[in-house]
Structure 1
Amino acid sequence: MNHAVDASSPSILIIGTGFGGLGMAIELKNSGIHSFTMLEKASGVGGTWRDNTYPGAACDVQSHFYSFSFEPKHDWSRKFGMQPEILGYMEQCVAKYGLAGHIRFNKEVASAGFDEDTNQWTVTTIDGDVFTVDILITATGQLNQPAWPNLPGMETFNGRVFHSARWDHDYELNGKNVGVIGTGASAIQFVPEIVPRVKSLSLFQRSAAWVLPKPDRPFYRWEQTLFQKIPAWDRLYRYLIYWKNESRALAFTRFNSLLEIFAWQAKRFAKSEVRDPHKLRNLIPDYQIGCKRILISNDWYRAIDQSHVDLVTTGIERIVEDGVVTSDGALHRVDALIVGTGFAASEFLSPMKITGRNGLSLNQAWANGSEAYKGMTVSGFPNLFMLYGPNTNLAHNSIVYMLESQFRYVLSCIETLRAEPGVAMDVKPDRLRDFSATVQKKLQTSVWESGCHSWYLDKNGKNTVNWPGFTFAYRKETRRVDPDDYVFLQPSQ
């Protein structure tokens, strides 16, 4: 079945309904553009906040700054939002801005191809629906494909296995012997929640994480009232959070030694919470703080210190019917395995097959690692705009702020295209090359290049995920499109 989106020019398709897709849709509506359709592979909106329903799921950016500047929420229940409340906020945005009519649920995109004759994108879903549009915007995020560890024997395990991003709420953990693989950002939230319920917990840690206390607490009623009654106070509060977070960019990208203050704080925190000297030794990382994501939690160390929690630092050799065998030959018997090994963050847009001009596939264009001009456009793929694309992730501030910069840039591109209906814009290869070279050069002085193996790096060891500077610098660079960066193509039909 073929769908042409809304006749008024230009027709737009957005893939994904997380923060990126929803925010872009709201901004389109605010600009008077209603000719867009949104495709969502799941049955509800929310992206990573819909998928990650594990116990304790929460954000590590302050609630007031992990929300749209144009849609403030005054009644956040605590300083750092929990998953149900963040998802609720996103659903409220859908209702308030009338987005439901634009969304097609259970429509996973299989492929998208650019037609040089018509300057249009043809997007095909897994169930065979076809959409033909002028502009394609991807908002698939970086945290939507769960990464599974490559462990021999996983299929022989007799117990229950699930990934933390696909939590099995029907499985009763009470009184069970549970194994958890991975000690990253998800595990640090769900492990303390399940420790009181399980009979025993074997925690398989490949490398320790740097953990800092989380300055979290519920908001008082009077604080919520202030936010609501005095909009200027709400804005000032956001502003203060922004600069507090932003100041840390210098430490991550230029002056890595500044991070040692945090390392000292993390070590002191661990020593005050962990009594078992063996565990304490293995919980302090051997790599520079900040090289991997710094985690925040108030109950992680206390949970690991429990006597029925076994911190296993020997590598996993294989999975057997009744548990996990480590490389020292020990068998760790478990009834269930929870995999908390994160996401394939550097595999942007996969598993969709995207084909641009001259039959060039995105995989071919990215043979040496993902790159995009300003994190949004790729040469050879006209009128394709990526939200939260390569090198736009942050370690120090809110991704929602980066997304809002991108909304503005994409709108500027759409305005340019509206002036000449039928035309397609393709970023010049030298502009993309120069931009990527600058990004990679700046990354060389960053803490992420200090030698650890993190999810920021792709299989070739290239950091295709993080932005190497200030978010206000990114906002300045994306304020509006410079037409000189692009080639404008006439349709050949």
Structure 2
Amino acid sequence: MVPQFDAVIVGAGFGGIGAAIELDRLGLRDFVILEREDDLGGTWHVNRYPGLAVDIASVTYSYSFEPNPHWSRLFAPGAELKDYAAHVADKYGLRTRMRFGTVVDGARWDEQDQLWVVSIAGGETLTARYLLTATGFLSQPYTPPFPGIESFAGKIIHTTDWDADYDLTGRKAAVIGTGATAVQLVPEVAARVAELTVFQRTPIWVVPKVDAPIPGVVQELFARVPLAQKAARLVNTGMLEALMVIGVLHYRQAEPLNSAAALLAKAHLFAQVRDRETRAALTPHYDFGCKRPTFSNQYFPTFNQPHVRLETHAIDHVEPDGIVTADGHKTEIDTLLLATGFNLWDVNFPAIEIVGREGVNLGKFWRDNRFQAYEGITVPKFPNFLSLNSPYSYSGLSYFTTIEAQMKHMGRLFTELFRRGERTFEVTERANAEFLDRMTEKLGSSVFYGGDCATSRSYYFDPHGEATLLRPTSTAAAHREAVSFPLDDYTYGRGAGR
């Protein structure tokens, strides 16, 4: 049977766009990108809440091969990231191969015909030689099942489904959540509402944000002298590497650096929040890096405002006109804003049902065993399958370092596949096990196992209690291995995986 497409890519965010560009480079141009939303951009299309901005400097949060010299700020607003995604898709001719409003129910490997059968909501099926999932790490919104929330008579807005037409002026609002999204959202909401209560379960490490408009003369310099922007990217990437790789992943060897980062965050908090009790409540009791830190200069001062209150008691239930905490206190509100993040491990790994060789279900395999993926991209018994948001794939702090490493892995793998004149590949059990053992050993030096993360409630940890989201190597090492992994770590041809 001849498949309809060379490849099906699920997801039209930056991961899917990068994978599509690499497929074009490899000559696999007959592909389709399936996207459940009504436009491309992934998280930068779905999220439109006030204050949305990238939390990695713009010069680093972009494809290295497609720099944007026209970022308006060091940390670009979210709308500019959406525009950048559209620019890249149009420049590389991808939009015509995207299908929006298309919900993928699942995919299964057809052993007889050696292809993937992709099922779409509504009954349609597509067939492809290769399947690539680029559904992102933060794609499945989470709403905690608070008792009584269905009875709330006011307005409920999740940050992934922001209602721009709803006027917050004069409202009595509550924000639930104090993660990276809330850090951006809370100051914006506080400036509009009459009363604001922020419900905090776990405080977050916040460090100063060195942000400013990028002058037109600098933008012009970047446009005329690309090496200047490349140098700026290199400097920023180096700082992120020092923070992430040394302070977090090599915690045991560089604990003083980790402690210094925590002291910086505490000094930032002390300088910005006047009330002692509020400062204490906003101070994390876990080591820096156990969960992703963030940057802000506006979040902490918001709690100095008389109409803003921090609530740290657990939510007991929701009533039609308010929220009742475990201590019996009721906060009357008319607007409930959910900055409750995403469900990574229950429904995101994988985001759709994927059934490989011998009927192995990927989600069940991960949950019954351990979350794992060779080089963060392939899994045994799943031929011709590339999972672009897998365990041990996230390298560094900028998602683009991960995307480009995976693009390089694709390039090396497919080039060898074509050189051999074959059409199927599958990573070997041996190579996968060796990689998993190596990653597990390296994580032993990280803050996740060497530090105190007990109270962090970090999404870095999977249901097995393992910190399998991040790749515990430097970005340079990840990119080096992407172009030098042993080619015999894969089997090729119709006998792949035997």
Task: Provide the TM-score with structure 2 as the length reference.
Answer: 0.94
1:233 equivalenced with 2:192 (yes/no): no
Which residue of the other structure, out of 143, 146, 159, is the alignment partner of 2:141? 146
CA contact (8 A) 2:58 2:73 kept: yes
In the other structure, the counterpart of 1:267 is 266
1:252 equivalenced with 2:251 (yes/no): no
Alpha-carbon deviations, 1:359-399, whole Å to 9, x = none? 110122212332100000011101100113212225x5311
With 446-455 and 46-55 compared, the bigger mean Cα shift is at 446-455
- The verdict on how the C-alpha distance between 1:393 and 1:294 changes in structure 2, with shifts beyond 3 A counting, is same
Deviation, 1:96, is 1.1
Aligned equivalents of 1:87, 1:76: Cα separation in 2? 12
Which residue of the other structure, out of 456, 459, 474, is the alignment partner of 2:460? 456
Question: Secondary structure at the residue paired with 2:285?
Answer: coil
Deviation, 1:320, is 1.3
Amino acid at match of 1:382: P
In the other structure, the counterpart of 1:471 is 475
- Which aligned pairs between 1:325-336 and structure 2 lie closer than 5 A? 325-336=324-335
- The verdict on how the C-alpha distance between 1:240 and 1:212 changes in structure 2, with shifts beyond 3 A counting, is same
Aligned equivalents of 1:107, 1:480: Cα separation in 2? 36
Question: Secondary structure at the residue paired with 1:65?
Answer: coil
Deviation, 1:211, is 0.7
Deviation, 1:94, is 1.3
In the other structure, the counterpart of 1:431 is 431
Question: Secondary structure at the residue paired with 1:94?
Answer: helix
CA contact (8 A) 1:250 1:469 kept: no
In the other structure, the counterpart of 2:304 is 305
Alpha-carbon deviations, 1:30-64, whole Å to 9, x = none? 34431211111111000011111110111111111
CA contact (8 A) 1:252 1:259 kept: yes
Q: Count the aligned residue pairs.
A: 486
1:180 equivalenced with 2:184 (yes/no): no
1:317 equivalenced with 2:312 (yes/no): no
In the other structure, the counterpart of 1:363 is 363
In the other structure, the counterpart of 1:93 is 88
Aligned equivalents of 1:81, 1:70: Cα separation in 2? 19
Amino acid at match of 1:266: A
Amino acid at match of 2:468: T
Amino acid at match of 2:387: M
- The verdict on how the C-alpha distance between 1:433 and 1:348 changes in structure 2, with shifts beyond 3 A counting, is farther
CA contact (8 A) 2:349 2:363 kept: no
CA contact (8 A) 1:157 1:319 kept: yes
In the other structure, the counterpart of 1:404 is 404
In the other structure, the counterpart of 2:111 is 116
Aligned equivalents of 2:110, 2:95: Cα separation in 1? 29
In the other structure, the counterpart of 1:127 is 122
CA contact (8 A) 2:140 2:348 kept: no
- The verdict on how the C-alpha distance between 1:325 and 1:429 changes in structure 2, with shifts beyond 3 A counting, is same
Aligned equivalents of 1:371, 1:17: Cα separation in 2? 24
Deviation, 1:432, is 1.0
| Identity within the alignment, % | 36
Deviation, 1:487, is 2.4
- Which aligned pairs between 1:8-407 and structure 2 lie closer than 5 A? 11-248=6-243, 249-254=245-250, 255-346=254-345, 347-366=347-366, 367-394=368-395, 396-407=396-407
With 460-469 and 64-73 compared, the bigger mean Cα shift is at 460-469
Aligned equivalents of 1:266, 1:349: Cα separation in 2? 32
CA contact (8 A) 2:408 2:479 kept: no
Deviation, 1:423, is 3.5
Deviation, 1:453, is 2.1
Aligned equivalents of 1:476, 1:320: Cα separation in 2? 55
CA contact (8 A) 1:345 1:456 kept: no
Task: Provide the TM-score with structure 1 as the length reference.
Answer: 0.95
Amino acid at match of 2:248: F
Aligned equivalents of 1:320, 1:312: Cα separation in 2? 17
Alpha-carbon deviations, 1:124-172, whole Å to 9, x = none? 1112221111111111110000122132111111111121122122322
Question: Secondary structure at the residue paired with 2:180?
Answer: coil
Aligned equivalents of 1:119, 1:32: Cα separation in 2? 20
Deviation, 1:402, is 1.6
Amino acid at match of 1:370: F
- The verdict on how the C-alpha distance between 1:375 and 1:348 changes in structure 2, with shifts beyond 3 A counting, is farther
Question: Secondary structure at the residue paired with 1:123?
Answer: strand
Amino acid at match of 1:405: A
Alpha-carbon deviations, 1:273-329, whole Å to 9, x = none? 111222111111111111111111010011122111110011111111111110001
Question: Secondary structure at the residue paired with 1:391?
Answer: coil
Aligned equivalents of 1:300, 1:447: Cα separation in 2? 25
In structure 2, list runs of 5 or more residues that go unmatched: none
With 441-450 and 148-157 compared, the bigger mean Cα shift is at 441-450
Deviation, 1:412, is 2.1
Amino acid at match of 1:24: A
1:484 equivalenced with 2:485 (yes/no): no
